[in-house]
């Protein structure tokens, strides 16, 4: 295995060794209890949350990506889930405000738990990985810019899927039955 692969995997292991699994479990319960779930992120973080949205759909949750034409309104009993790695993104803050004003709860996944956007959330899941907010200096990841956070998001979301499956007694067969046949 190339040194770059090993260093990248070691960095991911370090992220998860510092992750508070109680925060993950609390986020999983928030998702499991929600009537409807609306997900949002920007850039490459959006690519990761879109995959999570798809898996939530496969598990039978009433879920949508914010910005899609079929996204329903949110209100009491609903959950707005955002990824905001750097701790502040103006559009994320604005949408979180709209969701909360409508009565929805807000869960945010971030690498910067003290960020301005994060202060608006009802629940925070801190994923301690480098983003573009801290990608400079001698301790910077071998991976560029926010790639460590984005790679960690993929693993985090897949583990959250497993935890949700256990929480809701969802089987792989249940998920396969909701997978598209238009491929």
β-partners of residue 123 are 107
Residue 166 CB neighbours (<10 A)? 10
36 and 62 Cβ atoms separated by less than 8 Å: yes
Q: Which residues of 99-126 are buried (b: 16+ CB within 10 A; e: fewer)?
A: bbeeebbbbbbbbbbebebbebbebbbb
Nearest to 24 by CA among 157, 148, 182: 157
Active site residue 6: no
Contact 109, 127 (CB under 8 A): yes
CB 169 within 8 A of CB 175: no
User: Active-site residue among 6, 30, 150, 183?
Assistant: 150
Nearest Cα to Cα of residue 105 among 34, 10, 46: 34
Q: Which residues are catalytic?
A: 150
């Amino acid at each position: 295995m190339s040194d770059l692969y090993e260093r990248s995997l070691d960095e991911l292991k370090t992220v998860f060794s510092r992750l508070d699994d109680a925060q993950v479990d609390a986020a999983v319960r928030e998702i499991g209890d929600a009537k409807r779930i609306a997900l949002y992120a920007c850039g490459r973080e959006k690519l990761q949350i879109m995959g999570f949205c798809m898996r939530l759909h496969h598990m039978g949750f009433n879920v949508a990506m914010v910005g899609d034409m079929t996204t329903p309104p949110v209100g009491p009993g609903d959950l707005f889930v955002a990824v905001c790695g750097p701790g502040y993104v103006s559009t994320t803050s604005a949408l979180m405000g709209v969701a909360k004003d409508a009565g929805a709860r807000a869960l945010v996944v971030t690498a910067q738990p003290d960020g301005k956007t994060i202060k608006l959330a009802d629940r925070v899941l801190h994923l301690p990985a480098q983003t573009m907010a801290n990608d400079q200096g001698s301790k910077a990841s071998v991976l560029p810019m926010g790639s460590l956070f984005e790679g960690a998001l993929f693993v985090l979301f897949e583990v959250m899927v497993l935890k949700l499956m256990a929480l809701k007694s969802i089987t792989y067969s249940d998920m396969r039955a909701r997978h598209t046949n238009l491929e």
